[in-house]
Amino acid sequence: MKETAITSSFYAYLSRLRWIKRWGLKRNAHAENVMEHSWEVSVIAHTLALIKNRYFHGNVDANAVATAALYHDVTEVITGDLPTPIKYHSEQISTAYKQIEKQAEKELLALLPAELQADFQALIHHDRMPPEHVQIIKAADKISAYLKCQAELKAGNSEFETAAEQLALIIGESEQPEVAFFMKTFAPSCGLTLDGLMKTY
């Protein structure tokens, strides 16, 4: 007896992350999509976790953090990217968006074959994720946004001045020592040109 083939549109949805533009309310010198942002947040989160373990007596699964970070904005294939100023404009909007996001999480999870759903629970449902992982991913998200702002300012785009200042303040006030370490060690060279980077060897 032949088994019925299981089909799922889960990855078809995920592939559309490349079409979801970030920073929609601002004029961008360099367009950024959610897929590339997710990769950047993942590698930053992975590095933050390793820094925490090696320098600050942490015991975090850096690979699990990196994987979860890859999926941290996956619901935006349904909701789109709601700019931060709108998302937190009022308590009512923030609450409504969180409800929409939770519903999107449920719908995406339901697209998976039943046998895989438990494996994706902690990746898609943010409230199922270890709190320490969430903290690191949120920090990585802020750092990624800050680096984006710096790239825009370097390109002469003053649209990002206020966002850059706000993010610098948030990052500077972080109580996570791995964040300060990352910013001091890795962030400064992100503003260099290729020729500038080559000179550092």
* Segment 119-130, tens digit of pLDDT: 999 899 988 999
Average pLDDT, the chain: 93
Q: How many domains does the chain have?
A: 1
pLDDT at 141: 98
The residues facing 21 across adjacent strands are 33
Confirm whether 106 is domain-assigned: yes
pLDDT at 93: 87
* Segment 8-59, tens digit of pLDDT: 999 999 999 999 999 988 999 999 999 999 999 999 999 999 999 999 999 9
Which burial class, exposed, middle or buried, applies to 17 when counting CB atoms under 10 A from its CB (0-12, 13-18, 19+)?
Answer: buried
Rounded Cα–Cα distance for residues 105 and 180 (Å)? 32
CB contact at 8 A, 76 and 55: no
Confirm whether 1 is domain-assigned: no
pLDDT at 196: 87
Rounded Cα–Cα distance for residues 13 and 75 (Å)? 9
User: Residue 50 maps to which CATH number?
Assistant: 1.10.3210.10
